Amino acid sequence: MLGSLQANMNRQGVNTVQKGCCSACEKPIVGQVITALGKTWHPEHFTCNHCNQELGTRNFFERDGFPYCEPDYHNLFSPRCAYCNGAILDKCVTALDKTWHTEHFFCAQCGQQFGEDGFHERDGKPYCRNDYFEMFAPKCNGCNRAIMENYISALNSQWHPDCFVCRDCKKAVRGKSFYAMEGKPVCPACVGVDEEE
């Protein structure tokens, strides 16, 4: 009976030649066949290893010999962004022993992406140069701004060279004798002392 049915279908143009056994159900495949991962499958049996949705002709990824639909593969196996925890599907930044979407690697303080100056790290967080120095660098005792480069150490404090001036007349006292008044330098003239005496 099966032989005559097969012959009748062949006369009508329907191919009934077995194309192998399905890798999932191990039954013969007649008609449509999917060949993937070095195996043959009934179309309805070629499914995502995680969600069991039919893959058909959709894109899929292989992991350890199993097929996965694109969303499941990325959710299960793609690196995660340190900022949003989303799967990283394209370009990424690897820094501070973490991976980031390029648009999510920015200063933890101001939110700006990093330019040519790069970034500075504190407690595992990235900061732009300005915010890093503003938040963590020693402060000048004259202007209270961050000291980023050269400084003078005097009166148990640090000073920008341009800020180390007489408290009263604002003239530079660098390299000269001075008096300390309320933690600030004061030149001898403003104290009323003649340096030549």
Q: What is the pLDDT of residues 93-134, one digit of tens each?
A: 999 999 999 999 999 999 999 988 899 999 999 999 889 988
17-76 CATH fold: Cysteine Rich Protein (2.10.110)
Band (3; pLDDT cuts 50, 70, 90): low
Q: What is the pLDDT of residue 82?
A: 94
The whole-number average pLDDT for the span 133-154 is 91
Which tokens go with 57? 């002709």
Task: Quote the CATH superfamily of domain 80-136.
Answer: Cysteine Rich Protein (2.10.110.10)
Position 66 pLDDT exceeds 90: yes
Q: What is the pLDDT of residue 175?
A: 75
DSSP state of 73: H
Which comes out higher in pLDDT, residue 117 or 164?
164
Position 12 pLDDT exceeds 80: no
End-to-end CA distance of the chain: 131
> Counting beta carbons within 10 angstroms of the beta carbon of residue 59, is it exposed (0 to 12), middle (13 to 18) or buried (19 or more)?
exposed
Position 5 pLDDT exceeds 60: no
Which comes out higher in pLDDT, residue 16 or 185?
185
Q: What is the pLDDT of residue 195?
A: 62
Position 17 pLDDT exceeds 60: no
**Whole-model pTM above 0.85?**
no
Q: Measure the CA–CA gap between 74 and 112, rounded to whole angstroms.
A: 28
Same fold, 17-76 and 80-136: yes
Q: Measure the CA–CA gap between 95 and 83, rounded to whole angstroms.
A: 12
Q: Measure the CA–CA gap between 74 and 60, rounded to whole angstroms.
A: 11
Cβ within 8 Å of residue 55, ≥6 positions away: 34, 36, 46, 47, 48, 67, 69
Domain-wise residue ranges, the chain: 17-76, 80-136
Band (6; pLDDT cuts 50, 70, 90): low
Cβ within 8 Å of residue 117, ≥6 positions away: 128, 129
32-65 tens-digit pLDDT: 888 899 999 899 999 999 999 999 888 999 999 9
Q: Measure the CA–CA gap between 108 and 120, rounded to whole angstroms.
A: 10
Nearest to 85 by CA among 101, 103, 61: 101
The whole-number average pLDDT for the span 143-158 is 91
Q: Measure the CA–CA gap between 194 and 188, rounded to whole angstroms.
A: 7
168-190 tens-digit pLDDT: 999 998 778 899 999 899 999 88
